[in-house]
A and B are shown apart, each in its own frame.
Chain A
Amino acid sequence: MSFYGIVDVPDSGPGGHRAGLGQQVTAGRLRFRLFVVIAAATVTTPLFTLVLGRHLGASVAGPLTLGMLLLGVHVLAMLVAAVWYDRACSTHFDSIALPQHSSADDPETGRYS
């Protein structure tokens, strides 16, 4: 399975085609990195839960238990990854304006009218 998602490649000659493919590869890389973080967190938290067992209730600092710390790190990873992904996409794609009307601007609703 390829994570190199698919981009609308504008019909603006070989240069434009290469630029489109470049965007496609970058989009795939960003998505792959996010996928790795999601998969790691999704696997790691249950794994630690399983391994730590009764120790999850052990106090780490004040009211914070080991289990709370584990879940807190998971939530923090989610927040950081979400912000990173959005910023990376903004940097790489949102600033680019190509003179191409995206097919997404034609909602599916118009097909039957």
Chain B
Amino acid sequence: MNPYGYLAVQNNGFISPITSFMLVMIGSFLLCLIVGIENDRVSGFFLADRSLSTLRNCLALCGDFIVPSALLSLVGAVALSGYDGMFIAVSAIGVLWVLLPLAEPLRNTGGFTLGGILESRIPGAATRIAGTVVTVMVCVPMTVVQLTVAGDVTSFALGLHGVGASQICTALIGLLIVSYAAFGGMRGTSMIQIGKTIFVIGATLALTRVVLGRFHWDLGAMVESAGDQHGGRAAFYSSGLLFGDTGTGMADLFSLGLSITLGGAGLPHILMRMNVFQTGRAARRATRSAVTVLTLCYCAMAVAGLGAAAVVGSKTIASSNPQGYSALFLLSDSLGGNFLFALVSCAVFITALSTLASFILAAAASIAHDVYAGSDRRGRVKETNEVKVARWAIVIFGVLNVFLAVVLHNWSILSLASFGAVLSASAALPALTYVLFWRGFTKTGMLWTLYGSLACCTVLELFSPAVSGTPYSFLPEQDFHWFPLQNIGLVSIPVGFFLGWAGSLLSRPVTVPQPVDFELS
């Protein structure tokens, strides 16, 4: 039991992780109940009636990009692998760069699911079903991994040990998130995302301030100390600590960076967020502003990572968690103060709640809107019924994911998160890019991109070291891998773009209505 767990149990102070968690839970739940009252129409439940201001949407967009595994692993990666971790942080900022040219055209299609956006150019049930398949395949692994991380983090912050405690935390948090998404819809989820962005940025900046204060605001001393803790500055600030300095290791690093940069822009909850903006130009402007906000946030995280390496030491962090997930907590613990630890724990907790609610809502939107209303009932369905189906889809999808997260808790499933990002980059992004910007894109090309990339990603992932062949693989005792890279994006992303191009060229072009690009109103 860590000292804060003791504080939590003994109730030796008001500001402890458990009281902070309780406050966040109650506050978020009340918020969802209050704002979710008017969620009986499709536009209200999925798009918050487009009533959120650009500033609020911008903050919610920033929140959409801060996921728990990224928040924890970024700080850990910088603390354990120096330059490689910073490279990953820069790749994460790059997501918004990719999203920037897409933001306005995406909003102007009027679709809020992958299937809906693709259908604006290529009508038909096949389009919506293919979009839903990819959406669910992206959302399931990401939701399961984030749920597991959220459970682990909560049990750690509360000072509870053992797998059973983590599993119980995972189940309770998961059920809480399902109720948030089902009651609050997009309006409730957005409000939690806004709160999360403010909270996380505040917490990271506070942590950065304290860690720099520890070194009397001498960044050079902190950088030097971080390097010394890892056996020398030259090695720590050079590439190769994350995946090795071999050719394969470097390819793995670049592959991971590429997957993060390109995958983030096509994630289902981001596509949904784009359509919550009142206009296309508001979406573009908010994305531009989000670049600045997230750059600030990720730079603060990188400084916190270096601070963790300097103050805590890489060996201590690695012995606590090989992936470095505990670096953020160990740093706030080392810097002292119950308040700082509770603040960081709370930031991670609210990050988990909001991110998971967004993922579950996006998957349920795709199931209810594209499969039930769009394909099964061919549009002949009452809005209230569609919302009802969406709420049930949230409950079923959410509970299934919670079950999977609990069952797979003892397994090494971190690679699943990268699978979701890679699939988004390999299937969703090429299809979206072609639909928005290439007149020659056809239905065959779209289906080849979506299903072909899904098959390609599945096969490569199955035979990669992420699944077998290493101690950190999904099946560590098995070894049937032949693909050398843990991160498959370097191959699967070009394949995804190629399939869309080849499929379109080989099929007969059909004259279709053109989508809307820059809004002229």
Binding site for B on A (CB under 8 A): 1-3, 5-8, 10, 20, 23-24, 27, 31, 34-35, 38, 41-42, 45-46, 49-50, 53-59, 62-63, 65, 67-68, 71, 74-75, 78-79, 81-83, 85-86, 89-90, 93-94, 96-98, 100-113
Contact = CB atoms under 8 A, between A and B. Distances in A.
B101 A104 contact: no
Given A8-B520, A42-B261, A89 B439 contact: no
Contact of A81 (B97, B239, B373, B383): B97
Given A54-B238, A67-B239, A104-B280, 15 more contacts: A42-B94, A53-B239, A67-B86, A75-B299, A78-B94, A82-B96, A89-B104, A89-B281, A93-B519, A103-B110, A104-B279, A107-B112, A109-B47, A112-B379, A113-B42
A20 B520 contact: yes
Contact of B97 (A23, A57, A78): A78
A6 B514 contact: yes
B176 interface: no
B64 interface: no
Dominant SS among interface residues on chain B: helix
A78 B261 CA distance: 12
Contacts of B417: none
B93 interface: yes
B205 interface: no
A78 to B, nearest CB: 5
Contacts of A85: 100-101, 288
A57 B379 contact: no
A73 to B, nearest CB: 10
Interface string B340-381: 000000000000000000000000000001000110010111
A58 to B, nearest CB: 7
Interface string B273-299: 001000111001101100110010001
A71 B93 CA distance: 11
Contact of B234 (A24, A58, A97): A58
A63 B257 contact: no
A82 B110 contact: no
B97 A82 contact: yes
